Amino acid sequence: MTASFAVDAVVLDIEGTTSATGFVVDVLYPYSRARFGALLAERGGEPAVARAIEQVRAELGDPGAGLDRVEETLHGWLDEDRKATPLKTLQGVIWAEGFAAGDLVAHFYDDVVPALRAWHAAGVRLYVYSSGSVAAQRAWFASSPAGDLLPLVSGLFDTENAGAKQEPGSYRRIAAETGVAPGRLLFLSDRPGELDAARAAGWLAVGVRRPGEPYFEQGVGDHVEAGSFDEISVSGSGSTV
């Protein structure tokens, strides 16, 4: 069954939606875990790293926490898969360098890249909204197995520049930033709480429910659902794909 939408823009979640959670957890997380210690010890003077360290200390309620405690906290958040902004910032720094070095290549489900190309060709703008930092998103889309997908993407949003993904205010902020009316924005995500927040902000939303993903069994609540991007038809300025 295909779900059809007339919209000006599609906003994409990454993990569980365009890409496999298993890849993120099994490949990207260990890559960052092995490098946090050196990043904190050697590059604490860089603005993004310094800000993230301060944010971890603030979360701990301990402004004097040493770097060992900061690193231990990051590892604990990784174990919990907590989408904490400073964790994501530091992962983004590490992953961007891993992608640039050719150590990492992003994962996209097979149905995703053809759909993104078709929607973009139909005049629909594409945005990303992920808990992964903007730096991580940029590197991810630039390093797909199908080549650089960034030319397809009009903008990138994360929990730092837009806010938490389960808050309707974040979606209002993104709508204002893109200049697209809420009813002409379609959000694709695997998480019901995110879909609820987008809908509360007046957006259209589709729950992407892929077998094997962590949220597959739970489902997407009362949202329209799709098993892949092949089941989503989007019409932009003229054509339908």
Ligand X SMILES: CSCCC(=O)C(=O)COP(=O)(O)O
If one asks whether residue 140 binds ligand X (CB under 6 A), the answer comes out as yes
Distance, CA of 210 to chain centre: 16
By CB under 6 A, residue 143 contacts ligand X:
no
**What phi, psi does 234 have (nearest 5°)?**
-125, 130
Q: Determine the interface stretch with ligand X among 14-22, 53-61, 207-215, 229-237 (rule: CB under 6 A).
A: 14-22
Rule CB under 5 A: choose which of 13, 71, 158, 213 binds Mg ion: 13
Q: Applying CB under 6 A, which of residues 9, 10, 14, 232 lies at the interface with ligand X?
A: 14
Helix runs in the chain, H state only: 21-23, 29-33, 36-42, 47-60, 67-80, 85-101, 112-121, 134-142, 168-178, 192-200
Task: Round to whole Å and give the CA distance between 42 and 37.
Answer: 8
Q: How many residues bind Mg ion (CB under 5 A)?
A: 4
Closest distance to ligand X from the beta carbon of 64 (Å): 29
CA 131 to CA 72: how far, in whole Å? Answer: 21
179: left (phi over 0), alpha (psi -120 to 50) or beta: left
24 interacts with ligand X by CB under 6 A: yes
Does the footprint of Mg ion cover residue 158 (CB under 5 A)?
no
Please give the Cα distance from 36 to 53 (Å, whole number).
11
Residue located via tokens 């080549």: 147
Q: Which is nearer to Mg ion, 158 or 190 (CB)?
A: 190
Minimum CB separation of residue 26 from ligand X in Å reads: 12
Complex with Mg ion: residue 16 or 192, whichever CB lies closer: 16
By a kind-dependent CB cut-off of 5 to 8 A, residue 51 interacts, out of Mg ion, ligand X, none, with: none
Contacts with ligand X by CB under 6 A lie at 13-16, 24, 28, 83, 88, 130-132, 136-137, 140, 165
